Amino acid sequence: MSAPQLNIDHIAKLARLELSAEEKATFSQQLGDVLHHIEQLSQVDVTGVEPMAHATPVFNVWQDDVARPGLAVEQALRNAPAQRDNMIVVPKVVE
């Protein structure tokens, strides 16, 4: 893990975030500082260590495939920014 390079435009694109020029400058510096701090993890010997996703000894929880009552359409659409005929309205995707 050598000195990490953060391409702010590339990461912002991956994150689907439009950043202002000011935000780009501030975040580049702040994230650079954080990454510099994080670099010290490279000192830890992790040879043969299993990664841990979470702390509970519960895996592969299965449920029977049974239909259960869910939200009514009106309830599910209540928070939609724009809707029509029980559907969410979005800008045109295909010309």
Could you list the residues that contact other proteins (CB under 8 A)? 1, 4, 6, 8, 10-12, 14-19, 23, 26-27, 30-31, 33-35, 37-38, 40-42, 44, 46, 49-56, 58, 61, 63, 71, 75-76, 78-82, 88, 90-93
67 vs 71, which CB is nearer to other proteins?
71
Residue 19 · residue 7 · CB < 8 Å: no
65 sits in the region (left: phi over 0; alpha: psi -120 to 50; else beta) called: beta
Question: Shortest Cβ distance from residue 9 to other proteins (Å)?
Answer: 11
Distance of CA 79 to the CA centre of its chain: 21
For tokens 């390079």, the residue is 5
Q: Which residue lies nearer to other proteins by CB, 44 or 67?
A: 44
